[in-house]
Chains A and B, each alone.
Chain A
Amino acid sequence: MITQMKKFIRQDTTLTVLLGLLIFLILLFGSILQDKFFSFDNIQSMGYQIPEFAFLALAMSIAMITGGIDLSVVANANMAGIMAGYVLTGAVFGLNSGMSDLTLVIIAILVALIVATLGGVFNGILIAKFSVPAILATLGTMTFYNGISTAITEGKGVVGFPDNYLSIGTSAPLGIPLVFYIFFIAFAVVAFVMVRTPFGQSIYLYGENRIASLFSGIKNEKMIIKTYALAGFLSGIAAIIMTSRVNSAKYNYGDSYLLQAILVAVLGGINPNGGRGKVTNVIIGILILQILQSAFTLFAFSPYAKRMIFGFMLLLIMVINFIIDKWGARSKSIAKDSEVVPQEAK
């Protein structure tokens, strides 16, 4: 039993730590807040809130597995949301175009996804074809996309969407929010792509060693463009969910999500240097963050206190990972030494 557990822990230390932390937090907040924490309302509202930034965290994770980063996810999502918002409010087709609301909604969704994907492709081209370091390229596009959003809206919000667009964010078939289903399916698909397809494997290989990946015949440039396009596409989904939940689109929505997306990716064991980390672990990271968020809201913490705790957590997780790595390396080297000793004794 103990050896089995040891084996499990060795196999995926990140998962063990995360699961431990998750159970600890549920028990902790559960015992302090009791019914308030386990109430249907609280759990359902978590179901609404998780997908909103989960997609941004997922986009960030994929970029980080390549050894890069995508700082433009939030700016990209806002730009896509604003473009979709213009379609929905009739600024593009005119109010009397005779188009039904449903057609408008479908066009708006397509616009959001296409704009965000193009934003991702542009990131990818800068990184792959111009060899701009990912952090710089996405820093630039973040400023640029944000600039586009601010310039065309003049800093104002785009408001007033049709009801059936809002229902994306508010409806809950079988008591589970629709957005949660979308989140679940998208995560399953991305996890499958990362683990089971050549494309996913090439992302890991590139993150581990891009020159090895190049000389093993992977088309690095095409792969990077596709990866950032995927990150953009996921930001587009986040844009749809965000705008439909708040019934407006604005250039500076979700500013705090950038830090949280990086936090969750690192929390979920994605190595910022690339090549390591599992999308499935990121889900647990997201759950942990959401549980903390909800508990802090129930405790009525100020957003400032939340920020302090999240900053502290990011550092703590990085330090714990460092210590585990060191401890793991040491125990391995001790094991090696003990194997060597008997040979010397002979």
Chain B
Amino acid sequence: MKRLKKYINQNEWYLMGIILIYSIIVTTQNSGFFTLENFFDVLKGSSGMIILAMGILVVLLSGGIDLSFTAIAMFGGYSAARLMMATKIDNLAFAFVVSAVIGILLGAVNALIIHKFHLPTMIATLGTSSLFSGIMTTFIGTKTITVGMMPKSLRAFGGFRLFEMVNDAGSTYGLTVFIIPVVIVVVVTWFILYKTMLGRGVIALGNSEEAAKRSGFNLFWIRMFIYTYVGLLAGIMGVIYVAEVNSVYAVALYGTELTYIAAVVIGGAKLTGGEGKILGTLLGVIIVRLLNSTLVFLGLTSSWNGFFTGAVLLFSVGLTSYMSRLRSRRNLTFTD
């Protein structure tokens, strides 16, 4: 129990409680919810979000915020698909390499702008977000890629399952192959954050920039890592997204970045930096995805997505902020 306490904090227990109670409510309303098939569905739908969420967690830990990752993801995924169609190179690895390289380059642009000009990260990435999206749509194209045009390797990747089962109605379902990149990304992120000096530097930067500088961290390379890492993950997510939806609208993800950030924040990461955990982030993503994908089981249309996501977000940030407010009032500090 004590060991468990070390790994799971109070906020994460709350989140697990919410997930459990919500699942019970949905199950009583609709038995179709609590099945392995639905679990696999939710998992597949969450894959891209988990990958992006790991990147967002790294940025939030450093005390920054990135609004450009959806633009980067679309830039990478869409350009890779278009390039494959143009060059007739129908190879999945090629798609990932192209998208990842684009992601890293655009992330480096973010890092350079933020570090060299000391810009607030939110405003800087808001600017680069429109800039990247604008460059892509102006110079690469806006034509929707339909199922028929989609390169075969991407389509196969989107539909590939690690193992398959047959349900009562006779249709097959199974565990998506997306789980492999997801697990790799989560493990790598965990390793970097907790087992390397680089990761400690990210958290140090989030706690106090001045202290991080004085303890000898090279802030330029730390920022370079943070934003190129987000870029890289966005690039990977871009390919997964393209493979998943099978028909790509050029600015599809653009404008949804705040939902992703909301998921990470629900998971307990602080926008002020230095606080946030991988487990919490995963739980946050699960809550947002559950709300988005299971409202139909409660007889509500998808129009209610925003309402419930917003309500959960407000409730969770309201509660945690109020707790820390009470704490600081007791200590007679008035900083928040």
Please tell me if the beta carbons of A322 and B321 are within 8 angstroms of each other in the complex. Answer: no
- Whether, in the assembled complex, B261 has its beta carbon less than 8 Å from a beta carbon of chain A, the answer is yes
Please tell me which one of the listed residues B117, B317, B335 contacts residue A322 in the complex, with CB atoms under 8 A apart. B117
- Whether, in the assembled complex, A211 has its beta carbon less than 8 Å from a beta carbon of chain B, the answer is yes
Please tell me which one of the listed residues A144, A210, A304 contacts residue B307 in the complex, with CB atoms under 8 A apart. A144
Digitize B254-272: 1 where CB-to-A-CB distance is under 8 Å, 0 elsewhere. Answer: 0100110110010000011
- Whether, in the assembled complex, B36 has its beta carbon less than 8 Å from a beta carbon of chain A, the answer is no
A322: which B residues are within 8 A, CB to CB? Answer: 117-119
Q: How distant is the Cα of A133 from the Cα of B313 in the complex, in angstroms?
A: 13
**Of listed A214, A273, A315, residue having the most chain B CB within 10 A:** A315
Closest to B300 in A: A151
- Whether, in the assembled complex, A334 has its beta carbon less than 8 Å from a beta carbon of chain B, the answer is no
For the complex of A and B, the 7 pairs showing the least CB-CB separation, nearest first, are A308-B134, A144-B310, A311-B130, A147-B306, A147-B307, A311-B131, A304-B137
Please tell me if the beta carbons of A136 and B324 are within 8 angstroms of each other in the complex. Answer: no
- Whether, in the assembled complex, A142 has its beta carbon less than 8 Å from a beta carbon of chain B, the answer is yes
Please tell me which one of the listed residues A71, A150, A308 contacts residue B303 in the complex, with CB atoms under 8 A apart. A150
Digitize B134-152: 1 where CB-to-A-CB distance is under 8 Å, 0 elsewhere. Answer: 1101100010000000000
Please tell me if the beta carbons of B130 and A310 are within 8 angstroms of each other in the complex. Answer: yes
Q: Which of B258-304 contact A (CB under 8 A)?
A: 258-259, 261-262, 265, 271-272, 301, 303-304
Known: A315-B128, A322-B119. A147 touches B322 (CB 8 A): no
Q: Report 18 cross-chain contacts, Cβ distance below 8 Å, ordered by A residue.
A: A71-B258, A126-B314, A140-B310, A141-B310, A143-B262, A143-B310, A145-B310, A146-B306, A147-B305, A155-B303, A210-B334, A304-B134, A304-B137, A311-B126, A311-B127, A315-B113, A318-B119, A319-B119
Please tell me if the beta carbons of B271 and A135 are within 8 angstroms of each other in the complex. Answer: yes
| Interface residues of B, Cβ cutoff 8 Å to A | 65, 113, 117-120, 122-124, 126-135, 137-138, 142, 251, 255, 258-259, 261-262, 265, 271-272, 301, 303-311, 313-314, 317-318, 321-322, 324-325, 334-336
Q: How distant is the Cα of A151 from the Cα of B265 in the complex, in angstroms?
A: 23
Please tell me which one of the listed residues B134, B307, B324 contacts residue A311 in the complex, with CB atoms under 8 A apart. B134
What is the number of residues of chain A that contact chain B, defined by CB distance less than 8 Å? Answer: 49
B309: which A residues are within 8 A, CB to CB? Answer: 143, 147
From residue B155, how far is it (CB to closest CB) to chain A in Å? 27
Closest to A304 in B: B137
Q: How distant is the Cα of A154 from the Cα of B117 in the complex, in angstroms?
A: 44
From residue B210, how far is it (CB to closest CB) to chain A in Å? 16
Please give 10 more A-B residue pairs, beta carbons under 8 A apart, in addition to A131-B336, A144-B310: A130-B318, A133-B336, A135-B271, A150-B305, A151-B307, A154-B301, A266-B123, A311-B130, A311-B131, A315-B119
Please tell me if the beta carbons of A312 and B258 are within 8 angstroms of each other in the complex. Answer: no
Please tell me if the beta carbons of A272 and B120 are within 8 angstroms of each other in the complex. Answer: yes
- Whether, in the assembled complex, A305 has its beta carbon less than 8 Å from a beta carbon of chain B, the answer is yes
- Whether, in the assembled complex, A132 has its beta carbon less than 8 Å from a beta carbon of chain B, the answer is yes
Please tell me if the beta carbons of B307 and A262 are within 8 angstroms of each other in the complex. Answer: no
Q: How distant is the Cα of A255 from the Cα of B142 in the complex, in angstroms?
A: 19
Please tell me if the beta carbons of A305 and B134 are within 8 angstroms of each other in the complex. Answer: yes
B258: which A residues are within 8 A, CB to CB? Answer: 71, 139, 142-143
Closest to A72 in B: B310
Q: Which of A321-346 contact B (CB under 8 A)?
A: 322
**Of listed B118, B131, B133, residue having the most chain A CB within 10 A:** B131
B301: which A residues are within 8 A, CB to CB? Answer: 154
Q: How distant is the Cα of A153 from the Cα of B301 in the complex, in angstroms?
A: 12
By DSSP majority rule, is chain A's interface helix, strand, loop, or mixed?
helix
Known: A132-B318, A307-B130. A147 touches B304 (CB 8 A): yes
Please tell me if the beta carbons of B325 and A312 are within 8 angstroms of each other in the complex. Answer: no
From residue B58, how far is it (CB to closest CB) to chain A in Å? 18
Closest to A132 in B: B321
Please tell me if the beta carbons of B135 and A308 are within 8 angstroms of each other in the complex. Answer: yes
Please tell me if the beta carbons of B335 and A318 are within 8 angstroms of each other in the complex. Answer: no
Q: How distant is the Cα of A140 from the Cα of B303 in the complex, in angstroms?
A: 17
Please tell me if the beta carbons of B321 and A130 are within 8 angstroms of each other in the complex. Answer: yes
- Whether, in the assembled complex, A302 has its beta carbon less than 8 Å from a beta carbon of chain B, the answer is yes
From residue B216, how far is it (CB to closest CB) to chain A in Å? 25
Please tell me if the beta carbons of A273 and B123 are within 8 angstroms of each other in the complex. Answer: no
Known: A137-B317, A312-B127. A150 touches B265 (CB 8 A): no
Please tell me if the beta carbons of A262 and B123 are within 8 angstroms of each other in the complex. Answer: yes
Closest to B305 in A: A147
- Whether, in the assembled complex, A259 has its beta carbon less than 8 Å from a beta carbon of chain B, the answer is yes
Closest to B109 in A: A315
Please tell me if the beta carbons of A259 and B130 are within 8 angstroms of each other in the complex. Answer: yes
From residue A255, how far is it (CB to closest CB) to chain B in Å? 6
- Whether, in the assembled complex, A9 has its beta carbon less than 8 Å from a beta carbon of chain B, the answer is no
Please tell me which one of the listed residues A126, A143, A302, A318 contacts residue B259 in the complex, with CB atoms under 8 A apart. A143
Digitize A231-244: 1 where CB-to-B-CB distance is under 8 Å, 0 elsewhere. Answer: 00000000000000
Q: How distant is the Cα of A153 from the Cα of B307 in the complex, in angstroms?
A: 12
Known: A133-B321, A259-B126. A139 touches B303 (CB 8 A): no
B131: which A residues are within 8 A, CB to CB? Answer: 308, 311-312, 315
From residue B34, how far is it (CB to closest CB) to chain A in Å? 26
Q: Which of A122-180 contact B (CB under 8 A)?
A: 126, 130-133, 135-137, 139-148, 150-151, 153-155
Q: How distant is the Cα of A319 from the Cα of B116 in the complex, in angstroms?
A: 9
- Whether, in the assembled complex, A314 has its beta carbon less than 8 Å from a beta carbon of chain B, the answer is yes
Known: A144-B311, A145-B310. A131 touches B262 (CB 8 A): no
Please tell me if the beta carbons of A143 and B313 are within 8 angstroms of each other in the complex. Answer: yes
**Of listed A140, A142, A210, residue having the most chain B CB within 10 A:** A140
